[in-house]
Amino acid sequence: MTTLHSARGRMSSGPTRSAGRAQRILAIGAALLALPYFMLKVVWLSGSRIGIQDPDFGRSAVMHALNGATLGLDLAVLGLATVFYRNARPRSLLVVPPMWIGYGLLGQILLLIVPATLLQPTTSASAGPDAIAGWVYAVVYTGFCGIGLCLLPAFALYARDRWGRDWSRPLKSVAPQPVPAFTTSVAVLVALALAGYGLTRGDLRDGVPWLTDAGLGALAVLALLALSRGMTALPRWSALLVLFAGSGAWVAWGVYGLVLELVPNDLTSGPSSAAPVILNAAKVAGGLALARTIRRHA
């Protein structure tokens, strides 16, 4: 079997098959849905204030840097969509790590978009205008959800074709391997800490993201146990997907949270407290530890 880490990420030496119709359609959809966000970031970086209602918002060097970084992520989406459309075979390091982060970022947005919308308070008539116009959020998060619904399954089809020739085998048919005790213990402790913090939030809107993090971590641990011990008839790809997405979510959103907590910016107000910083750092460490186990099982 050709694995994610075989040939140390070199390009495939055999002939490349053309992408299937579904994969091409999904890749086109991801690219098209990335364009509004791309154009918005370009006009903001060029000095336009479209969609910004607060005259002081977004003028700092930090905010320009954050806009540049997120523009880079959008360019990565366009590049990956091109790879999936052409069914190209670049080095694995150019595809797998970006999609690992992509599954973490976009997958969690897809999980949280409905509860976030339902829990959004109705703005009173006396409230002042938000720093960013409402239509900007609608455009951005509609795009994020659309990209997630297109890019993530496109990668799944691409990965199955490139690496996963026996991913459909049931887990219980695979020879048992030792459970990585340290990684499992760390992940469980981090998940419990995240759940405890989420349950103590006074506002449900603040607690749901932390509880989602805890749930994703718990599922990733269960997936790791299933891959190691082969204790279910589910196909291998299901456990690999959960471990891939869960570890990616911890790292992606942990880094994002650390940036918001530690770097002065216009998106947060007031000084940072110790608990979110520690928990976000723990998510990054736990996610990286879980990710190291993927190579052994893929």
Indicate if the alpha-carbon torsion angle 269, 211, 284, 67 is positive or negative: negative
Instruction: For the chain, list the strands marked E by DSSP.
Output: none
User: What is residue 5's predicted lDDT score, i.e. its pLDDT?
Assistant: 42
Query: How many other CB atoms sit within 10 Å of the CB of residue 196?
Result: 13
Quick check: 196 and 207 in contact, CB under 8 A? no
Q: Residue 54 contacts by C-beta under 8 Å, 6 or more apart in sequence?
A: 129, 130, 131, 132
Q: Are residues 97 and 197 in the same domain?
A: no
Give the phi and the psi of residue 52 in degrees, each rounded to 5.
-105, 120
User: What is residue 77's predicted lDDT score, i.e. its pLDDT?
Assistant: 98
Residue 10 within a domain: yes
* Nearest CA-CA partner of 176 in 231, 116, 216: 231
Q: Are residues 155 and 236 in the same domain?
A: no
Q: Are residues 202 and 72 in the same domain?
A: no
Structure tokens at 285: 């460490």
Q: Are residues 136 and 255 in the same domain?
A: no
Number of domains in the chain: 2
Residue 237 within a domain: yes
* Nearest CA-CA partner of 220 in 166, 286, 162, 161: 286
Residue 157 within a domain: yes
Q: Are residues 83 and 24 in the same domain?
A: yes
Q: Are residues 89 and 187 in the same domain?
A: no
Which residues constitute the domain of residue 278? 171-297
Residue 40 corresponds to which amino acid? L
Q: Are residues 188 and 268 in the same domain?
A: yes
The radius of gyration computed from the CA coordinates of the chain, to the nearest angstrom, equals: 20
Q: How far apart are CA 18 and CA 21, in angstroms?
A: 9
Q: Are residues 99 and 183 in the same domain?
A: no
Residue 1 within a domain: no
Q: Please give the angle made by the CA atoms of 159, 163 and 164, to the nearest 5 degrees.
A: 85
User: What is residue 239's predicted lDDT score, i.e. its pLDDT?
Assistant: 94
User: What is residue 118's predicted lDDT score, i.e. its pLDDT?
Assistant: 74
Residue 226 within a domain: yes
Per-residue tens of pLDDT for the chain, all 298 residues: 334 444 334 334 344 567 799 999 999 999 999 999 999 999 999 999 999 999 999 999 999 999 999 999 999 999 999 999 999 999 999 999 999 999 999 999 999 988 887 777 654 444 456 899 999 999 999 999 999 999 999 999 999 999 877 888 899 888 888 999 999 999 999 999 999 999 999 888 889 999 999 999 999 999 999 999 987 889 999 999 999 999 999 999 999 999 999 999 998 876 778 999 999 999 999 999 999 999 888 7
Residue 52 within a domain: yes
Q: Are residues 287 and 237 in the same domain?
A: yes
Q: How far apart are CA 112 and CA 105, in angstroms?
A: 11
Residue 98 within a domain: yes
CA 208 → CA 24, 61, 115, 131, 241, distances in Å? 35, 31, 8, 24, 22
Q: Are residues 61 and 181 in the same domain?
A: no
Q: Are residues 141 and 176 in the same domain?
A: no
Q: Are residues 24 and 102 in the same domain?
A: yes
